[in-house]
Amino acid sequence: MKRREFLKKGFALTAVGTTAGFSLISLLGKSRRLYFRPPGALAEDDFLAACIRCGKCIQVCPYNSLKYADITDGLHAGTPYFNFRRTPCYMCEDIPCITVCPTDALDHTLTDINKAVMGTAVITDREACLSLNGLRCEICYRACPLIDKAITLKKHQQTITKRHTVFEPVIHKDVCTGCGICENVCPLDETAIRVLPSERGDKAGHYIYLKEQV
């Protein structure tokens, strides 16, 4: 669907909805879905306020990675997002999506794509992960554009054969950009590694963990 066409249809539907007396709360309310935004996107609330739904970033993406949120996404409709399993961010070094953004929804001061934070990869299904099962897979590691930095391999002995090594992919939050390539390439039917929002877990900071001895 062309963008213009979509916007037209979207507005038309909204109008129909209103006149028919439907409650728009569910449409306009915030979706519970997680949206993974282009590199340099502001925090979600600020992004929603700043993004004018012009679709330029979506059009300029050379890999067609970015998609439009549609009408079922309520307030998010028209905003750009990634479906990593379909097409991830391939981390163009010239970041065209930021260059074309007419507002500050995408942070123009971000010029090094490796510093982008779109999310953070997490092995979400450790039981299914082939590498953790001892197979020589590690596809996520080799496909990672920041190989040996964002994903490294932790080695331990294969406890069944006792003569091989398990190469466990370990994600480093401080380096991972959340580009989603790992989520995309995981060879399982349901990916075992997914990008999640970077902010999660303990935010309070009232306890400092022991770090590994240097």
Partner 1 sequence: MGNVGRRDFLKTAAASVAAASLLASCQTKEGEPLSQKMGGVEDQLGIEWDKSVCRFCGTGCGVLVGRKNGKIVATKGDPECWSNKGLNCIKGYFLSKILYGRDRLTKPLIRKNGKLVESTWDEALDLIASKYSEILKTHGSDAVAMFGSGQWTIFEGYAALKFMKAGLGFIAKDGVGSNHLDPNARMCMASAVAAFMRTFQSDEPMGSYEDIEHADTFFTWGANMAEMHPVLFSRIIDTKMKNPDRVKIIDLGTQYTRVSEEADLYLEFQPQTDLAIANYFAHYIIKNKRYDKQFVEDHLVFKKGETNIGYGLKDGGADIPKTAGKMEKITFGEYKKFVAKYTAKHTSKISGVPEDKLKQAAEFISDPTRKVCSYWTMGFNQHTRGTWVNQLVYNIHLLTGKISKPGMGPFSLTGQPSACGTAREVGTFVHRLPADMVVKNEAHRKIAADIWKIPVEKINPKVGLHTIEMFRATETGRIKILWTQVTNPYHSMPNLNRFTKAAKEQDIFIIASDVYPTRTTEVADVVLPSAMWVEKEGAYGNAERRTQHWNKIADSPGEAKTEIWQMYEVAKRLKVDEKTTVADIIYNFNQDNYYEELWEEYRSFTLGIGKDLAPYKVLREKHGVVWPYVARDKAVNGKIDFSDVWDDIENTEPNGFTSVKWRYNSKYDPFAARFIKDHPERSFKDGIVFYKAKKNDYRATVLAVPYEPPGEVPDKEYPFWLCTGRVLEHWHTGTMTMRVPELRRVMPRAFVNFNPEDAKKYGINRGDLVRVTSRRGSVVFPADINGRAIPQKGSVFIPFFDESRMVNEITLDQYDPISKEPDYKKCAVKVEKV
The residue among 54 and 130 lying less far from partner 1, judged by its C-beta, is: 130
Residue 67 and residue 58: Cα distance in Å, rounded?
A: 6
Looking up tokens 């971000």 gives 110
Among 12, 49, 75, 147, binds partner 1 (CB under 8 A): 147
| Contact residues for 195 (Cβ-Cβ < 8 A; gap 6+) | 36, 84, 118, 119, 120, 121, 122, 178, 179, 180, 182, 183
Least Cβ distance, residue 11 to partner 1 (angstroms): 36
Letters for 62-101 (x = contact with partner 1 by CB under 8 A, - = none) are xx--------------------------xxxxx-------
Q: Per rule CB under 8 A, is residue 111 in the interface with partner 1?
A: no
Q: By C-alpha distance, which of 57, 37, 49, 51 is closest to 98?
A: 57
Number of shown-chain residues binding partner 1 (CB under 8 A) = 32
Which positions touch partner 1 (CB under 8 A)? 62-63, 90-94, 130, 134-137, 139, 142-143, 145, 147-148, 155-158, 160-161, 163-165, 167, 184-185, 187-188
